[in-house]
Structure 1
Amino acid sequence: MDSPASARVDSWLWAVRVYKTRSAATAGCRAGHVRVNGERVKAAQSIRPGDEVRVRIAGFDRILVVKLCITKRVGASVAAEAVTDLTPPPPPREEVALLPMRDRGAGRPTKRDRREIERLRGRDDPSGLADDD
């Protein structure tokens, strides 16, 4: 397969399956979520092999390096060959204390319920008025 020397950034992002549609890729460029070599770009900006593309999706940056310029949507294996993903792994999720959850619509907790919740959280005095003297 012969690839062109350059491609539009929006069509490349769509072709390598970063965005589901080309119009979504164009909207991402227009919103400033796409950077090529550190600079914000418009959708029609040309990219070449070796360029670094940073895409902000769902609050996280994906760092991609262009290996092949493709303009048409291709199979997943060919799309994977066209890009090198340098994105660092996501930060580990903090373990959330497994507290019992109240049923939705159960209303406001009673004073007894609130004291039980505070006891489970490790606070013996829920009022916070205990003297430490």
Structure 2
Amino acid sequence: MEQVRIDKWLWAARFYKTRSLAAKAVGGGHVAVNGSRVKPARTVRPGDMVHIRQGPFAWEIQVLAVSEQRGPATAARMLYEETEASQVRRELARAERKVLQLHIQAPERKPDKHERRKIRQFLKKE
């Protein structure tokens, strides 16, 4: 087995929890192989460069091996190697998000029934 579908590979490498989520991400343009957007049926081979965006984070990885079966996380980690630049960017994004979270205060309690009605009325006006 020298090649496998990109959606199966992303699922087996544990980037997505289910294969259907991986297929949606690929179809939505969040995954690129060798610099170009692809469809879920596109095959990947060892040596391909894959760029994955998940929310604020982005991975640039090189495919080292292919697998159609999802295994333990340690085995999944052996399927790819992340570039140094990608690791640095993700760490910076993580630190940035952490700093932003410090300024957000959680509410003391949930809104009660009366407050929820007011919120719904306010949102309907817009």
Match of 2:62 in 1: 65
- Over the residues paired in the alignment, what is the CA RMSD in angstroms? 2.3
Q: Which moved more, 1:8-17 or 1:86-95?
A: 86-95
Instruction: Trace 1:3-14 onto structure 2 (pairs within 5 A).
Output: 4-14=1-11
Instruction: Calculate the TM-score normalised by the size of structure 2.
Output: 0.70
Q: Which runs of 4+ in 1 moved over 3 A?
A: 101-105
Unaligned runs of at least 5 residues, structure 1 = 106-133
Instruction: Calculate the TM-score normalised by the size of structure 1.
Output: 0.67
Larger Rg: 1
Match of 2:117 in 1: none
SS, match of residue 10 in structure 2: helix
Higher percent of residues as helix: 2
Q: Distance in 1 between matches of 2:25 and 2:56?
A: 13
- The percentage of counterpart residues that share the same residue type is 35
State the Cα deviation string for residues 12-46 of structure 1 (Å, max 9, x = none).
00000000100000000110000000000000001
Distance 1:95 1:83, change over 3 A: closer
Give the aligned residue type for 1:88. Answer: Q
Unaligned runs of at least 5 residues, structure 2 = 110-126
Q: Distance in 1 between matches of 2:107 and 2:12?
A: 45
